[in-house]
Each structure stands twice: as structure tokens, then as C-alpha cells.
Amino acid sequence: MKYWTLTEPDIDRIALGAGILGTGGGGNPYLGMLMVRAQLREGRTVRVIRPCDLAPDAFVLALGNIGAPTVGIEKMEEGDEGVRSLHALEQYTGRKVDAVIADEIGGSNGLAPMITAAKLGLPVVDADGMGRAFPEVQMTTFFIHGQASQPAVLADALGNVMIVTQATSPEMLEKLMRAGTVAMGCTAHMTTAPMSGDFIKRFGVPHTVSHAWTLGDTVINARAAKMDPVEALIARTGGSLLMRGKVSDVGRRIAAGFVRGSLTLTGLEAFQGRQMVIEIQNEYLIATEGDRVLAMVPDLICIVDSETGRPITTEEQRYGLRVSVIAIPAPALLRSDIALRSVGPRAFGYDFDFVPHLGAPMDAQPVAAYDA
Amino acid sequence: MKYWTLTEPDIDRIALGAGILGTGGGGNPYLGMLMVRAQLREGRTVRVIRPCDLAPDAFVLALGNIGAPTVGIEKMEEGDEGVRSLHALEQYTGRKVDAVIADEIGGSNGLAPMITAAKLGLPVVDADGMGRAFPEVQMTTFFIHGQASQPAVLADALGNVMIVTQATSPEMLEKLMRAGTVAMGCTAHMTTAPMSGDFIKRFGVPHTVSHAWTLGDTVINARAAKMDPVEALIARTGGSLLMRGKVSDVGRRIAAGFVRGSLTLTGLEAFQGRQMVIEIQNEYLIATEGDRVLAMVPDLICIVDSETGRPITTEEQRYGLRVSVIAIPAPALLRSDIALRSVGPRAFGYDFDFVPHLGAPMDAQPVAAYDA
């Protein structure tokens, strides 16, 4: 079996790339980076494994945070939430966990399993259930392809833990988890039902930890070479530039455990005179110009600082920021008919079908470090 | 050990008395009565035992419904919620349940454990944790005296089940249970943490099933004898008549899983020219006349139909009803300093201390049927 043992520079790259893939949500990646770095500085290690190296019957848990990112940056994790969740599920199921995986690679949730993995000496699988971030629990390729709705665990920083032992659907699980999250103060740690190694191999979005690293590396290399990081990102992802402009209005509120609102951007340079509106539910969902929808879920709408390529999350947005909006094709697993029922525009209440005008998605590849 | 095996007339009396003790809440007792009666008609039995007959280490679970009574009369129980909850706790703890008990004797919750008891052949303890009804989970003599906050189970009619395995306080348990209840559609079935027989003997409000039966019997006998059921109730409970009048205004809304609002009554007969306002959080909490508080939690404020003595729950209140308001002294266990912190007026947000101007509470006695 090949391992990729993470270094601090790796974590910087993964955090940067996860921030880009987070499409504005998934939790603040800077905080996630600090928490994983702290694990390394305390002498622990984070080892990543490829999905192909999972035993077919491996017992795998998907970990991550749930809630409103605007709250998550003020009410931070305590650090042992994942350990408590995992132990609660081990006790409830009577099985030992073999590996952990991110429900979503986007934002701090791409890093969240690494904290628990470092503390418990477990490997992190180089894959996830979204290839990006989405606001709701059931919006993973895991649930889309039949992951059980239970048992799932919610834990907070103060020590509260609840287990959903029966949920009639993944949507009902989302409702119960969201309600518990609000009761816990609008952020919490979630662990969904156990999955087998075989299931992860079939339905996980593959090599997304590697993909995040590659995107982060692309931006860092462009900066070092005094090249445009936005152009470098577009070249690397097969994405397209939707807008270069200035944030001219931010409407944002916390509602029912989510950050909701919209963002107005006013074009600069080649985009002078144009205006774009981006709608938000934790993540950037839809980019419109007048009546025209330029990009939509599940394709990725990423907003980065125009100078540095640093991803800007929904809770960081404010008037005057100079940003570039990049659309990136969603992974193939999110574009199937069955997936679009859960993550297409209609799943978010929009009255139109998904139009994949951004070309074919690129397959993410494992990083070279596996062979080191 | 002495058993009291309930008959249909017993259940009618208990439902009527539980309705009176419910102080407007605890769930609609008519529906509770129908559900228990259905158990008897299906050939099952409900056996009640006195707390003194519990083994010291008996494993006892308190069962009941949680939510907004206005919703509870439209979205009814399916009937097996308690069975699912109880089995979830048996599985989680690895112990078999010996007996069940009501968290609150008031309203349909005084009858709720009987449904599960009948289905599983378990005895119901002749006691409860309130001697009345209160709106929140932590407002029981059990929690006041140290019942664990976990494990506690919430289950709904559709099959959803969640277990709170760690709660930092009974108040946090209330928050998590309330949030889950709202997610489940504003009504659900709750089972709190296991208690020992010894604990129930010390901290349960004793013989409240008997007490409910006695109050129901009092009203039924008064009706049969063409006497005033309101006067009969007052004589039997040591209560006092606060008002005889007409409902002249009802303000009622569903908020955060509760029914909240207030009731205005206009005096009739000897109360002509007087007006009373009663504030509601599922139950009738406070009765005021102008600036004067006439009765307050934890003392019981009961509203019954002036003609028939039938208790009128908060969700049934409407303009024009002819009602009598009776205040009944709370059980001694609710009047201690430690109890008043959880169930006194300040626990409900009022800025005054409890004034027990209603005299000493009467001790409830086991019904004669135990000796039959």
C-alpha cells in the first residue's frame, strides 16, 4: 500500500485548493489549515491513502462540519469533536473504524478528517463525496448512491452528542442534523453512516485531496513565478473566467442554519460595464448576468482574489474586494441524471435544468508524493 | 405486589383527571384516552403498580410526547413510537426495561406510557415527574433531582429515531429534543434517561395516576348527582375558584415547538365586571387581574367547562366558551427551593418569586382498586 504522509507545505497547498473547490463554503480553509498544522507540530502524522488501496470491507466513516460558515469562524471547533463522534459510532456499531474520508473536499471540510485521523492514527482516503462543497447533508455522491441514512452522529465543542439511529431518508437526516446543529449554536461536527471500502471505490469522487493539493500548488507556483494565478487555475482546471470585477453589494444572513444571500459584482478591465449576481446558500450556487444564467450547480463557481488567487469564502465577502469568478466543470459523478436530482439547480429551488456549458470535467490524479 | 388493572371506566376517569392536572397542556387527553381504550379493546391490559412496589434497582423509563399541542391534535401518534424509543434505549444500554412511568401526568402524557406498557406487557408506575404538566423537558422532579441528561430518545410517527448520547445539561437536552421535535413536524415521542426504582420512590410525585382517577371520578360523580362539578373539584383538591367567566380573547401561536399566547376572560355571575389574563406556554402559567398575579407556576391553573367540569386545553380555547378557572396547590416536591429554580415563575422569564398563597398541597393516595 502506498501512503502520502503530509508535510506542512502539503497542508498549505491542500487548504488553498480546498478553498477553491469549496465554491465559497465548506468552512473557512485557513482555520482548517491551522488546526491540521497544529497536529503536525504536536508530533502527529497525517497519512493519505488512495481509494484503490482500501480493503473491500474496510469500515470507513465520512467526517466534516455542518452549519453556517459565518458562525464557524467565530465559534471554532474544540478539536476532539470528530474523535467523540467516531467513538460514539464505534460503540453503537461495535466495529472499529479503518479509515476516514471527507464528505466534502471543499473548504475546511476537506481538512476536517485529517484532525481526527492524526489524533487516532487513522488514514485519510484521497477522495470525497462531492469534489467540491454543497450546503446539505444528502448532497453527496455517497447518499446519491445509497449510503444509509443512519447511524449518523452530531457532536459539538462542548461535549453534546446525538446519534440519529433511524432516518426515513437522507433529506430527513439533513433536517434532523440541521435542527441539532442550530440547537448546538449553528456549528457542529457530523459523521454519517459507515461505508465499505468497496462503496468508496465505486461512488467516492476520486483523488480529490490530490486535486486540492494540485490546485494549491498551481496558485503558489504562479505567484512565485510572478504569473497570473487566475489564468494558471483556469488552465489547470479546464474552467473559464466568468468575471473580473469588484464586489459592489453583499446581502448575507444566517437562516435555519445556513448562510443565505447574494453577491453583486461590477465588472472591471475587460468586464467593464457588466454586472453579475451570485446567489448563495453557504456556497456560490448560481451566477447570473441579467436574465442569463452563466453557471450553475453542480458546476463549481469559485471566487478568488484577482491578485493572489486566494479563494474568498461567502462569509469573507465584503464591498470593494477585487475578485475573479471562475467556473469549473463538476466531476462526472455529479453530472449524472440521478446526481442532478440531488445537486442540480432544481434541488436548490431553481426552475430550470442543469446546462453543462462548461465542457467535460477533468479527472483528478493522485499526487506524485505517493511514489516517494 | 399489588396491581391495579385498568378498566375502560378507569381510563375515562384518568383521562378526565389528567386533563385537569394538565393545566391546559400535556397533550389532548381525549386522544390519549382513545388510544389507551383501543389497547384494551384489542385484548391487551394496562397494569399500574405503586412506586413502593418497585425493586430498588428496577430499570424504569419515563415516556411521553413532546411538541406543540395544537399540532398534536392534527398530526396524531402512530402508536408504536414508544415501543421504538424503548427498544432503542434497551439496545443502547443493553438492559431490559422493568416498568414505565409518565414524565408528566397532565394531559395525554398521563396516558402515553399506558399505550407502550400495554403493547409490551410492562407495568406503569403510579407516579410521575410533575404532578401536572410543564412545557419543557427539564421541568421534572426527576431532572431537578439529578436524572441523567442521557441517553434520551426522540421518535416520530414515521420511524425516525434519534438518541442524545451526551448532553451537557438537562436544558441542553431540552434544546436538542425541541429542535428534533420541530424537524419531525412539531410533535414527537420522547424517552428520557433510565432511572432506578429507588430514584422513582424518592423523587417521583407519588400516586398521581390514582390522583388523576380520583379527580375524574369526582367530576363524573358530581355530574351524575346533578351537583356542580367545579365545586366538587375545588373541595377535592384544596384549590380555589379564581374566576367564572367567558373567554373574550384568545392569542395563540406556534413558536419554536411550543404553543404560546394568552387568554382573556371576562367575569360572569359573582365575577361580573372583572377581567383575567392567563399566559400560556403549552400550559396555563400565570393568571393575572390588572397588575395583580392571582396564581402562578408551579401551582396549577386549571380551566374547565363551567357546566360539565371538562378540562379545556390551550389548543381548544376559543371565544365565547363559559369556563371556570381553578387554582390548585402544586405538590410539595415542586415547591422546594431547588424545584422552584426549574419550575418557578423566574424559570419562565417572569421577574417575581413564587408566592404559594394557595395553602398546603394535599397528598395523593392510591386508589382502592389496588386492594381489589
Domain final residue pick, A177, A208, A239: A208
Is B179 in the A-facing interface, judged by CB distances under 8 Å? yes
Looking at every residue in chain A, the average pLDDT score rounds to: 93
Question: Within the 311-350 window of chain B, which residues sit less than 8 Å (CB to CB) from chain A?
Answer: none
List, for residues A320-349, the tens digit of each pLDDT value. Answer: 999 999 999 999 999 999 999 999 999 998
Reported confidence tier of residue A95, pLDDT bands at 50, 70, 90: very high
- My answer on whether A240 and A176 are in the same domain is no
Residue A214 lies in a domain: no
| Secondary structure (H, E, C), chain B | CCEEECCHHHHHHHHHHHHHHCCCCCCCHHHHHHHHHHHHHCCCCCEEECHHHCCCCCEEEEEEEEECHHHHCCCCCCCCHHHHHHHHHHHHHCCCCCEEEECCCCHHHHCHHHHHHHHHCCCEEEEECCCCCCCCCCCCHHHHCCCCCCCEEEECCCCCEEEEEECCCHHHHHHHHHHHHHHCCCEEEEECCCEEHHHHHHHCEECHHHHHHHHHHHHHHHHHCCCCHHHHHHHHHCCEEEEEEEEEEEEEEEECCEEEEEEEEEECHHHCCCEEEEEEECEEEEEEECCEEEEECCCEEEEEECCCCCECCHHHCCCCCEEEEEEECCCHHHHCHHHHHHHCHHHHCCCCCCCCCCCCCCCCCCCHHHHC
- My answer on whether A244 and A193 are in the same domain is no
- My answer on whether B262 and B309 are in the same domain is yes
User: B167 vs A184: CB contact, 8 Å cut-off?
Assistant: no
C-alpha cell at B252: 395563540
Q: Which amino acid is at A68?
A: A
- Shortest distance between the Cα of A167 and any Cα of chain B, in A, equals 5
Is B83 in the A-facing interface, judged by CB distances under 8 Å? no
Residue B41 lies in a domain: yes
C-alpha cell at B227: 351537583
- My answer on whether A198 and A304 are in the same domain is no
CB-based contact A131:A205 (threshold 8 Å)? yes
Select the residue of B164, B168, B183 nearest A175 (Cβ to Cβ). Answer: B183
With a cut of 50, list the residues of chain B below it in pLDDT.
none
Cβ contacts of A222 within 8 Å, gap of 6 or more: A228, A229, A231, A232, A233, A309
d(CA B243, CA A140): 60
What is the predicted pLDDT for the residue at B42? Answer: 97
- Shortest distance between the Cα of B169 and any Cα of chain A, in A, equals 9
Compute φ and ψ for B56, nearest 5 degrees: -55, -35
The pTM of this model reads: 0.89
The answer to ipTM > 0.90 is no
- Shortest distance between the Cα of B156 and any Cα of chain A, in A, equals 10
For residue A287, the domain's CATH number is: 2.40.390.10
List, for residues A109-160, the tens digit of each pLDDT value. Answer: 999 999 999 999 999 999 999 999 998 989 999 999 999 999 999 999 999 9
Reported confidence tier of residue A27, pLDDT bands at 50, 70, 90: confident
What is the predicted pLDDT for the residue at B298? Answer: 96
Name every chain B residue with its beta carbon within 8 A of the beta carbon of A172: 158, 160, 183
Residue A70 scores a pLDDT above 80: no
Is A161 in the B-facing interface, judged by CB distances under 8 Å? yes
Residue of A nearest to B169 (CA): A160
Residue A337 lies in a domain: no
- My answer on whether A105 and A175 are in the same domain is yes
- My answer on whether A163 and A267 are in the same domain is no
Name every chain A residue with its beta carbon within 8 A of the beta carbon of B176: 160, 162, 180, 183-184
d(CA B148, CA B141): 12
- My answer on whether A163 and A49 are in the same domain is yes
- My answer on whether A41 and A166 are in the same domain is yes
Residue A223 scores a pLDDT above 70: yes
The total number of structural domains in chain A stands at 2
- My answer on whether A201 and A316 are in the same domain is no
Is B164 in the A-facing interface, judged by CB distances under 8 Å? yes
What is the predicted pLDDT for the residue at A74? Answer: 76
Query: Could you tell me what percent of chain A has a pLDDT over 90?
Result: 84
- My answer on whether A46 and A177 are in the same domain is yes
For residue A116, the domain's CATH number is: 3.40.1610.10
What is the predicted pLDDT for the residue at A77? Answer: 82
Residue B143: give the domain boundaries.
3-208
- Shortest distance between the Cα of A287 and any Cα of chain B, in A, equals 31
- My answer on whether B293 and B173 are in the same domain is no
Where do the H-state alpha helices sit in chain A? 8-21, 29-41, 69-72, 81-93, 112-120, 141-144, 170-183, 197-203, 208-224, 229-237, 332-335, 337-343
Burial B32-44 (b: 16+ CB within 10 A, else e): bbebbbebbeeeb
Interface A-B, measured as beta-carbon pairs within 8 A, has a size of 71
Residue A45 lies in a domain: yes
List, for residues A45-64, the tens digit of each pLDDT value. Answer: 999 999 999 999 999 999 99
- My answer on whether A191 and A258 are in the same domain is no
Chain B interface, best mutation among A136, A150, A166, by max B CB count within 10 A: A166
List, for residues A238-285, the tens digit of each pLDDT value. Answer: 899 999 999 999 987 777 667 789 999 999 999 999 999 999 988 999
Residue A350 lies in a domain: no
